Amino acid sequence: MDNATVHNGAVKEVLFIKIDSDQSIEQLKELREFYLESLQQGLCIIPAGASWELEMLSASPVVNQLAKERKAKGDVSLLKSVSHKEKDAILEKLQQYREKVGAPSFACLAQKYGKGDKEFREDILRDLFFYRIKVSDRVWIKLGEALEAEGI
C-alpha cells in the first residue's frame, strides 16, 4: 500500500506500508484511508508486525506520465487525499445545496455528475450526508467539484 504526494504532476515522497495479503480489498481500502487521514494529522500509527519505508523520489518521466494519465482519466484518488477539514467544508456546502434545492438534491447531483459512476449515486450521497458513511477520496473530490459547478 502506498501514498503518493503529487505536486504539479511530480511525486515528492512515497510511504510504503507492507500489509498481510490475506486481507480483503475493502479492509485494505479502509487501512489506506486510515493511514492517509492519520498522516494528514501529523501522526501515523502502524500496527505491530507491519513494516514501512519512506522513499524520497525525484520526479521521473515514468512517474510523471502515470500521474498525467490518471489525471486525464479523472482518477485523482491516488493523486490527492482529502483532509477532515476539507470533508467538513464539502458537507457544509452540501447542506447549503440541500437547502437551496430541497429534497431531490442528492438525486440531482447523482444524475448530473454521477453518470456511470457506481460510487456517486443518490443513495451513497444521502448516506454520506446523514450517516457519514465512509467513501473514497475520489467521491469527496467529485462531490466538491460538483457543488462548486453548482455555484455553492
pLDDT value at 7 more than 50: no
Pairing mode of beta strands 10-18, 2-7: antiparallel
Q: What is the pLDDT of residues 17-62, one digit of tens each?
A: 666 667 677 777 777 777 777 777 777 777 666 666 655 555 445 5
The rounded distance, in Å, linking the Cα atoms of 125 and 115 is 14
| Whether 82 contacts 137, CB under 8 Å | yes
Cα angle, residue 101 at apex, residues 89 and 143 outer, rounded to 5°: 35
Q: How confident is the model at residue 112 (pLDDT cuts 50, 70, 90)?
A: very high
pLDDT at position 38, please?
76
| Whether 48 contacts 9, CB under 8 Å | no
Structural domain boundaries of the chain?
2-72, 84-149
Q: Tell me the pLDDT of the chain averaged across its residues.
A: 74
Q: Whose grid coordinates read 437547502?
A: 99
pLDDT at position 3, please?
42
- The arithmetic mean of pLDDT across residues 87-101, rounded, is 91
> pTM (2 decimals)?
0.50
| Whether 90 contacts 143, CB under 8 Å | yes
